[in-house]
Structure 1
Amino acid sequence: MTQTPPITDSHCHLDFPDFEGELNDVIARAAEAGVTRMVTICTKLKNEPAVRAIAEAHAPVFYAAGTHPMSVATEPMATLDQLIEIAQHPKMVGIGETGLDYHYTAESAQDQQTSLRLHIAAARETGLPLIIHARDADDDMAAILREEHKTGAYTCVMHCFSSSEALGQAALDLGFYLSMSGITAFPKSQELRDIFARAPLDRILVETDSPYLAPPPFRGKRNEPAYTAHTATRAAETFGMDYVDFAAQTQANFERLFTKVAGFEAAT
């Protein structure tokens, strides 16, 4: 029997109510699909203890923490010291998700920008990768990422990337990574697949963003980390690669960006 190639779900939300009471089964199904690691994302800092507890209780799970741009208007503004302190946990491996969302919450644009810059400063200070959410804010996002990178280098992934090629190229020019979600497997997403196909293969990650954006054949249902394999199968086709080779490449990419994960695994 051929062993399933290992792959990482670089972005999911295991603390969401959709998974309540089912985490053991969800993580077991992920392992069966070859998803041997997952990064669960805390979107409100008040929830960080609960997200941290999930990572502590499950060996394959790591976590990141920040304030989602859509929550900036209703949550206390994160502080640099707060983010740096949280980042001391051995399984806390990324800053965010943060970013800009002008689709649903354009009225808080200025506060979102302030929050984004705070998270960038934390990524710069801790050396952990920044995790970016961007929607309908391409120009401001590209400008802030460039401006802050001139102030001091940091690493970053554009999570669930589905923005313009211009923003994608701006991120790639700064040495950042683009992450492929279930959206890239939708039949009508050829234009997005073409953007990814022109990107450097060593700058590509895969994710579910579960419980959202389930890829075919589960579209419209709850997403979960196991379905990373379905997104990655379609992504391998986009790059004209065998699944085994594509999975191995994304594993190497993930470990290059999320260096704390590789360090933790080597030490345990």
Structure 2
Amino acid sequence: MKDFHQFLLLLLSIALFLPLPSLIHAAPTAAEIIAIAQQQLAAPTEFAQGEMRIYQHTRLARTYDFVLGRLWDAATRTENVRVDFHSPVALELGDSSRHADNRYLLRRTTQAPPTQWLYLPALRRVRLTPYRPTERVLTSHYFFYDLTWALALGDFRYQFAATSPNDHTPILEGEPLTAMAPYHRIRVTLERHEQTYLITAMTVVSPDATERTLHFADFREVSPGYYRPRTAVWISADGRTELTFPHWVVRPASPLLFSPAQLETQTLVVPE
């Protein structure tokens, strides 16, 4: 019996020096889940080649090919997003968004709204344009605010939804923390995958009560620890915008690709 008591004392003394997580596996908070999802989205440099199909109600209106590039500066928490649209096929005439080589560059920090540049194909020059968060990208259901998604997630304060099942597939509801957020409310559905969380759906509610829902599907690991979807669909009352990403890579690249000068002079391509 004496030996048994000494054994219990030994176990207790060891436990006192163990960190708390080693003793109790606490479920992550809503803020911790969003922080993990943000880390998943903040790859240093990534590129995607894709196609965007815009539907007005049920009718296909336009199809665009595009290349997306994203540069994340962890030291300054600056997100640079560039999108080059190529070879648009428009089913309606008389729209300037039909023009090939529409190029956009956004640069956002946590302290200020994004700076936005636009390449004008007709004039062959770059212009600094006012940032309007709810402006649609080429008449699609994507807002310019939606492009800087890594930082945009931090614009809200989150809590678990009443219908959230568990910490493996949590559902979070967010309210805006800053006036930069154009949404009155946001609802994020996530799925735990190994040591990270993937966003599978997001519903945003504008101040006028208009709702849009974004669905991600068919995730694949494009680089160790980074997962990206093959498809994304924005759905609203007036139609939907479908995006497919057949090619997505996380690769080092020159930061100059995300400068206004090269927005004018160099077309974005996915590095091999």
TM-score category (smaller protein): under 0.3
More strand by share: 2
TM (norm. structure 2) is 0.27
TM (norm. structure 1) is 0.27
More helix by share: 1
